[in-house]
Chain A
Amino acid sequence: MTDLFAARAQMALSLAFHIIFAIVGVAMPLLMVVAERLHQKSGEPEYLELARRWSKGTAIMFAVGAVSGTVLSFELGLLWPTFMAYAGPIIGMPFSLEGFAFFLEAIFLGIYLYGWRRVSPRAHFAAGVMVLLSGTLSALFVVCANGWMNTPAGFEFVDGELRVDAWAAMWNPAALVEALHMIAAAFAAVGFAVAGIHAAMLLRGARRGFHRRALGIALAVGGLSSFLTPFTGHLAAERVAELQPVKLAAMEALWEDEAAAPLLIGGIPDEEAEVTRWAIKIPGGLAFLAHGDFGATVEGLKDVPRADRPPVTVTHFAFQIMVGCGVVMMGLGAFAGLSVLRRRPIADQPALLRALVLASPLGVVAIEAGWTVTEVGRQPWVIQGIMRTADAVTPMPHLAVPFVTFTGLYVVLGVAVVVLLRRQVFAAEVPTLAGEEEVDHGA
């Protein structure tokens, strides 16, 4: 294992691990405040219990997200010091703002999780709304920083001296579209994941009223958000087409410059022979999606020197997986929505419940695949067109050691989280009288 490969593997692992917990911190507050608000409106104690149960699972996930996020902020320097020495000052604004947003999120989450009996119901609900806002802003800012790596802007060197327009760097062309897509995906993924858990409990014949309410909220959030992802994704893809044409060609595994370029569904790219076999082609589809014109020409990979191409197979497969998961989620969301309109309770449809259980990891899979497209598709660059990943890596030798260390650590933590969440879910089978719950989980 080369040191560069180990560094990339450790970074990929750390991001892939962190994102699962980060999206929970973004999206669960919405589910919790909806449940809490429904309780305040209706007086129904099960909604309050639901908010409390969810807040426990969120507390576990948020803690792991906070510490794994800390690891990432250090790893930027531990693994990529040359990149950070160059980019740090330019993307300082979104990182500084993200720091504050995360600070507010941690503060209000502390009040939300431990303040059930210490602050008024109104202040408690307001704390939940603040967690939701600061968590979403936190995601926006950190994705702005990633956007700059894809579409660097807002800086120039005048006689060797760096001039930075911090605002222009933060709102680089990719920033907003990437962030919108990520935030929509976070709500969709978490909504479906939670819906799947409660669907499974309904299939087991568990407390029906409780899980039916939970499923309703989670599926409403997940289903509606899943319909936002193709629109935000389309906006993001237009920017890729415009500013990262090589990444777009890799996503589509398109080799030749083609007028009326087809959209490829499936297919296996052969990077040696420079062809993609067995794909379903929709004529003009890619041309329309990328440039809004069925006749437009899309650049293929053949004209790009091999050293400047991203790994095509990985990028193409990841893109297909992301889109595929999104389509299934939308289909399920639409079906569930129609059921509700036809007044057929979802909880009475075992087939739909089983489908929801099967679909519960799809949102997370889609997010992991989507980040693979973003990051692998940008290779060999760490800053598109400016700095190569190979030039950014630390001179530190034996990087396989920290990679193996963090892999082991994250495997253990992952297993522990799954075990604990299972226990929390099954603990919910013993109803507690809302408002009379045990002391706020001190020890």
Chain B
Amino acid sequence: MAPELIITGVIGAALILYTLTAGADFGGGVWDLLARGPRAADQRRVIAEAIAPIWEANHVWLILVVVLLFVCFPAAFAAISTALHIPLTLMLVGVVLRGSAFTFRAYDPKPGAGARRWSQVFAVASLITPITLGVTLGAVSGGFERDPVSGLVQTDFISSWLAPYPLAVGLFTLVLFAFLAAVYLVEETDDEALRAIFRRRGLASGIAVGVAALIAFIAAEGAPEIREGLAEAPWAPLLHGLTGVAAVTALVAIWRRRDRLARLAAMAQATLIVAGWGLAQYPYLAVPGYRIDEVAAPEGVLWPVIGALAAGAVLLVPTLWYLFAVFKRSRAGRVSQPH
């Protein structure tokens, strides 16, 4: 197998894992922002306890994506970070504020006005990053022309991302992250009333995912390559079918309180969505000037990186499993959490 395809696959897998883990952490911020009613404080507490031990590790998937891009596809990395300077900078502001505010709130021994302010910053910053991440992923689906002389991207720094399709993908990403978070949160508490609240949020945001997907598909008018991939590729009907089955399964499972099944179905749905986006994007990293095989670093660079990834995975997989085993072992089976 061509080494650049292996690396592209790893980047895709890292994006899926980022969505399933860190995505849900950002989604938790959305539900922190929308927490209402007499149980609002309890909702926020469940969200914070669910995120606290794992968000920093979850966040590293994104760093892995960045590192693999600049090591293995340097021209594409340079092009993307040049043309999308503005949304990426906004995303970073979101990353910084979300993480810092969350920690400041958790570690303030004098809860009061300061902690409440950080709480608001945390919640609002949790919106910025998913939207700008989605805008970035939407924007690479078109308009990345390469200057034949300099080899650099031709860009006005605005038009490639300030367009209906990237913005629709931004909205979709936010809704998807919120949906994942709501479904996960059901199993993060033993309080039946809270579980019911999170189930309702899961249902509402699950339906919103469908609506946002439709909006993105309509907006894809402006991104013909992606639209073609999503609509006409030979794998498209199967993928859409599976995604639909997962989506409906998730909603029915939430409705029937099959929480574990709902979580698995939602994860499958999100995985299929990101994978489908990746397949539609193939063979481009950024359309149309940056094809995977054309912008890959030489094989002498790629194979050692693959070796490092394999060696790293040997260490990483068991430790990640351990982390989640310590903090996320099924709560459903336990009667109560001793505090």
Contact = CB atoms under 8 A, between A and B. Distances in A.
Interface stretch (B224-232, B263-271, B318-326): B318-326
**Which 4 residue pairs across A and B have the least CB separation, nearest first?**
A92-B71, A77-B81, A81-B78, A100-B312
13 contacts: A70-B62, A74-B66, A77-B77, A81-B81, A84-B70, A89-B298, A92-B72, A104-B315, A107-B319, A162-B300, A395-B152, A441-B107, A442-B52
A106 B103 CA distance: 14
Contact of B59 (A66, A68, A162, A427): A66
Interface string A47-72: 00000000010011011101111110
Interface string B61-104: 01110111011101101111110010011011101111110111
B175 to A, nearest CB: 24
A159 B64 CA distance: 32
B100 A92 contact: no
Contacts of A69: 63
A103 interface: yes
Contact of A99 (B57, B67, B157, B319): B67
B332 interface: no
A109 interface: yes
A82 interface: yes
B62 A66 contact: no
Contacts of B78: 77, 81-82, 84-85
Interface of A: 56, 59-60, 62-64, 66-71, 73-78, 81-82, 84-86, 88-93, 95-100, 102-104, 106-111, 113-115, 118-119, 161-167, 394-397, 402, 405, 409, 413, 416-417, 419-420, 423-424, 427, 439, 441-443
Contact of B92 (A71, A92, A167): A71
A62 B44 contact: no
Nearest to B73: A88
A169 B213 CA distance: 45
B315 A60 contact: no
Contact of A424 (B49, B75, B93, B109): B109
B305 interface: yes
Given A100-B315, A110-B53, A118 B92 contact: no
A99 B63 contact: yes
B88 A74 contact: yes
B304 A93 contact: yes
Given A64-B103, A77-B70, A84-B70, A115 B326 contact: yes
B308 A63 contact: no
Interface in B279-295: none
B81 A110 contact: no
B74 A89 contact: yes
B308 A96 contact: yes
Q: Could you tell me the dominant secondary structure of chain B's interface residues? A: helix
Residue from the set B54, B102, B109 with the largest chain A CB neighbour count within 10 Å: B109
Interface of B: 44-45, 48-49, 52-54, 56-57, 59-60, 62-64, 66-68, 70-72, 74-75, 77-82, 85, 88-89, 91-93, 95-100, 102-110, 114, 118, 152, 157, 297-298, 300-301, 304-305, 308-309, 312, 315-316, 319-320, 322-323, 326-327, 339
Given A106-B59, A113-B53, A164 B99 contact: no
Contacts of B45: 442-443
B107 A56 contact: yes
B319 A104 contact: yes
B107 A420 contact: yes
A420 B108 contact: yes
Given A67-B96, A84-B78, A73 B56 contact: no
B64 A99 contact: yes
Contacts of A442: 45, 48-49, 52, 106
B316 A60 contact: no
Contacts of A78: 81, 85, 88-89
B44 to A, nearest CB: 6
A114 B82 contact: no
Nearest to B323: A107
A66 to B, nearest CB: 5
A90 B72 CA distance: 10
Contacts of B104: 60, 416-417, 420
Contacts of B105: 443
A333 B339 CA distance: 44
A79 to B, nearest CB: 9
A186 to B, nearest CB: 19
Contact of B320 (A88, A92, A107, A115): A107
Contacts of A166: 300-301, 304-305
Contacts of B54: 110
B114 to A, nearest CB: 8
Residue from the set B75, B309, B326 with the largest chain A CB neighbour count within 10 Å: B326
Contacts of B114: 419
Residue from the set B44, B79, B96, B316 with the largest chain A CB neighbour count within 10 Å: B96
A443 B44 CA distance: 8
B101 to A, nearest CB: 9
Contacts of A67: 95-96, 98-100
B99 A111 contact: no
Residue from the set B79, B100, B104, B297 with the largest chain A CB neighbour count within 10 Å: B100
B70 A402 contact: no
A388 B264 CA distance: 51
Contacts of A60: 103-104, 107
Contact of A102 (B60, B85, B300): B60
B100 A163 contact: no
A88 B297 contact: yes
A68 B96 contact: yes
Residue from the set B68, B85, B320, B339 with the largest chain A CB neighbour count within 10 Å: B85
A74 B81 contact: yes
A443 B106 contact: yes
A60 B101 CA distance: 10
A95 B80 CA distance: 19
A66 B99 contact: yes
Contacts of A396: 82, 85, 157
Given A114-B327, A162-B298, A89 B82 contact: no
B62 A63 contact: no
Given A96-B71, A162-B301, A165-B300, 12 more contacts: A56-B107, A59-B107, A85-B77, A96-B68, A99-B64, A104-B316, A106-B60, A110-B56, A111-B323, A423-B108, A423-B109, A442-B52
